Amino acid sequence: MNRLTAFLILMMTSGTLHAACDIPQSFWDWPRSGGAVLSLKEIRPCIDAYLADPKSKLLIHHGANDEDSLHSGELRAWLMSLAIDPSRITDASDLPTGLSIETQDH
């Protein structure tokens, strides 16, 4: 599996903060918890943008293979354990491999 280089993109669009965050492959090599998800510096801009707009949603992009699909489900579960409304989380298997998350305007 290709390792993703983490990158962050922040921009202002129509007055709301939008963020896209890649989840580094190395994140899956260590035990995970809610605290680990929140402390992941690559994901923090997406969580902050989500919290800044009560109508925003999180979109989890993942590869179509089984491992990436499982990682997407696990990330979704950890986000829900952190009190993120499950109705505001969607996913799409639109990457060749890996996982990223982004905020979306309502």
Domains of the chain (ranges, CATH numbers): 8-104 (3.30.1330)
Strand order from edge to edge, sheet including 16-22: 8-13, 16-22, 99-104, 57-63, 89-95
Give residue-wise pLDDT tens across range 17-34: 578 888 888 888 988 888
With beta carbons less than 8 A apart as the criterion, state whether 93 and 69 touch.
yes
Which residue blocks in 1-106 are alpha helix, DSSP H? 34-39, 44-52, 66-81
Residue 106 confidence class, pLDDT cut points 50, 70, 90: low
Q: Which of the four pLDDT bands, split at 50, 70 and 90, describes residue 48?
A: confident
Q: How does residue 11 score in pLDDT terms, banded at 50, 70 and 90?
A: very low
pLDDT of residue 89: 92
Whether the pLDDT of residue 10 is over 60: the answer is: no
User: What is the C-alpha R_g of the chain?
Assistant: 13
Residue 93 CA to residue 16 CA, distance in Å, equals: 26
Q: Does 38 or 73 have the greater pLDDT score?
A: 73
Residue 55 scores a pLDDT above 70? yes
Q: Answer for the pair 102, 20: CB distance below 8 angstroms, yes or no.
A: yes
47 residue type, one letter: I
